[in-house]
Amino acid sequence: MPRTPEKNGQRPPKKIPMRQCLGCREMKPKKELLRVVRSPEGEISLDLKGRANGRGAYVCKNAECLKRAAKSRAPARALGAAVPEDIMAELKRLMEASDE
């Protein structure tokens, strides 16, 4: 797509923040992903609003990607710590709930 020069002081459209899913490795809009965050205190939790401080890891809202992410070391690498079982279970539950 060719870049059109700005006219009449119009701003280019806002960029959608993209993040990489740890399951399929695709870049997706942040909104379509679930975020797991490791706080500066080292606590790992789900960040449903996407605003918590700390290092984040993202995965698509589907069970397949979660499974793939869980099998790999990607979440641990992204967060610098292993994701606790209960967080993984919670993620799974959320995905099953939204997977209607």
Instruction: Enumerate binding residues for Zn ion (CB under 5 A).
Output: 21, 23-24, 60, 65
Q: Cα–Cα distance between 58 and 74 in angstroms, integer?
A: 10
Q: Cα–Cα distance between 59 and 36 in angstroms, integer?
A: 8
Q: How far is the CB of 65 from Zn ion (least distance, A)?
A: 3
Q: Cα–Cα distance between 62 and 16 in angstroms, integer?
A: 21
Select 30 or 42, whichever has its Cβ closest to Zn ion.
30
Q: How far is the CB of 84 from Zn ion (least distance, A)?
A: 21
Select 23 or 75, whichever has its Cβ closest to Zn ion.
23
In sequence order, the 6+-apart residues with CB closer than 8 A to the CB of 65 are: 21, 22, 23, 24, 59
Q: How far is the CB of 24 from Zn ion (least distance, A)?
A: 3
Select 44 or 95, whichever has its Cβ closest to Zn ion.
95
